[in-house]
Structure 1
């Protein structure tokens, strides 16, 4: 601490002063950075704060252990803000009495300072000309070590075990830990209830960080800051009964359920159940949709096949078509298009036909094939080649058209005035296809 700006009066020095406080005092911190005169408006507001803070209603949820009050406009020069945090094991009546005593004594110790802190046995009293409610501060800090030495006091482990319990509700926890044989250490940990969980957690960690420079090798002591405080002794100094104290976990970072507050653990359980339920419903709905789509596709395929079979009168046997085209001989090939090849064939009854053999990789499925059979078979026009039938077997999809004789095919493809070679006819058929 800076001795030019801070006045630290230990309780040992306070014995000679005629203070009205009836409770033991750890120490004071009076800041000389900001001073006021006795007749100023700030002095009037501070008098109102000191005389009224203990009589006001405590902060909701603090179990009567935290009082706060502000007087004056926040941006004004006469603004005054104060808090009083009592030890969590006190009754609300004892807390009110302790805050009243602290308000009287701190005025005598810091008579002209606008910022002051008093650390008492039962409470921490603080006032300032700046807003302090909801603002975490772990500096300045005060330390008083137990004069008794201890080789393994386990102070850090004990405070770490109390940390999770002192983060919620009234933000206070107390507990004990056996050191060796019959020796045990007792500790409490408290934080201002107006602070959030994150701020209190950081303040507790600062206290733990202060242990090496304050209480190393000692059996206990007190570490006090503006926003949180802790005390460790070799005897039970707090008034909580043994039944009200739950066993201390081994460390602050332990992942067992004992380390977590009950409310947080229940929240995690509810969240886990909700997520599991959602996933189960999602999977069931997904399976139902998949099966329905699969059934619909299967029904569609069956319907397509049934429609083809419905025109059985147009169906040719694959063996007959192979025989008619000399097993799809190259010599019988007339051309090739996007969906397959076209062959000339001669049926058993002597009728010449044009056979369109669809490629397996043509992309034309059963639906397209069925549509072409049904639609083309019903069309009759002098300029259209007549569809005689189809064949669908052994993964083959074949259309059988009427083959026009050379003379009429010539006229259909090229008109009446020119003669063309068979190769030219094939080329025209290729483009026509």
Structure 2
């Protein structure tokens, strides 16, 4: 069986994708540790600077931006099918929400359905990482689980190749694929990498 690892975003659903008119908070994760009182003022100042910079630069062509200040690193990534205006709205909202949900955390992730924001006390730029990770599951069941898994494995492999091919061109590292499982069920897949990760890190296949 082929194990396919796609960095940052993988969404699976049986439902037809629809344009969202409102931002939907999916998941978030905060570190268990807080930045120490001895560095509270300086870390908070750097974090505020980072989040303000992310918000100010949220209308960018690729829907991705990263920046750092001393010991704080931050980035945002918008879903590949969002317009610049939609990306801007999501990133600005996310930079505010992450502070509210993760006060004084050394690092934090926040996912809306439309974008993600991340900050950390270590440099994570240009690195493919699988931890910490956020998991989400579709609660619906399929009538043919064996057929579903076979189609899923094949489709994700094809999607990984499609995503890798996009690195040959200067564009968003975003790909989608839709496949019929049976007469009633359709599998829709999406994958996306941050533009700073190279093709080897973005798509990793192991036999």
TM-score by length of 2: 0.77
Gaps of 5+ in 2: 1-21
Matches of 1:71 and 1:198, distance apart in 2: 28
Matches of 1:56 and 1:144, distance apart in 2: 28
Residues 134 and 195 of structure 1 are in contact (CA less than 8 Å); yes or no, is this contact kept in structure 2?
A: yes
Two-structure CA RMSD over aligned residues (Å): 2.2
2:181 alignment partner in structure 1: 179
2:110 alignment partner in structure 1: 118
Matches of 1:116 and 1:158, distance apart in 2: 31
2:203 alignment partner in structure 1: 201
Matches of 1:71 and 1:93, distance apart in 2: 26
- What does 1:94-105 correspond to in 2, within 5 Å? 94-105=86-97
- What does 1:409-424 correspond to in 2, within 5 Å? none
Q: What does the per-residue CA deviation read over 1:264-319, in whole Å, with 9 as the maximum and x for residues that have no partner? A: xxxxxxxxxxxxxxxxxxxxxxxxxxxxxxxxxxxxxxxxxxxxxxxxxxxxxxxx
1:139 alignment partner in structure 2: 131
Number of equivalences: 175
Q: What does the per-residue CA deviation read over 1:181-209, in whole Å, with 9 as the maximum and x for residues that have no partner? A: 1421111100111000000013xx59xxx
Residues 175 and 188 of structure 1 are in contact (CA less than 8 Å); yes or no, is this contact kept in structure 2?
A: yes
Superposition deviation, residue 56 in structure 1 = 2.1
Superposition deviation, residue 155 in structure 1 = 2.1
1:26 alignment partner in structure 2: 26
- What does 1:4-403 correspond to in 2, within 5 Å? 23-37=23-37, 39-56=40-57, 63-72=61-70, 79-150=71-142, 151=145, 152-153=147-148, 154-167=151-164, 168=167, 169-202=171-204
**With CA pairs under 8 Å and 6+ residues apart, which has the higher RCO, 1 or 2?**
2
Matches of 1:36 and 1:144, distance apart in 2: 32
Superposition deviation, residue 144 in structure 1 = 1.6
Gaps of 5+ in 1: 1-21, 73-78, 207-252, 254-433
Greater fraction helix: 1
Residues 84 and 126 of structure 1 are in contact (CA less than 8 Å); yes or no, is this contact kept in structure 2?
A: yes
Q: What does the per-residue CA deviation read over 1:123-165, in whole Å, with 9 as the maximum and x for residues that have no partner? A: 1210011112112211122222111111232222222111122
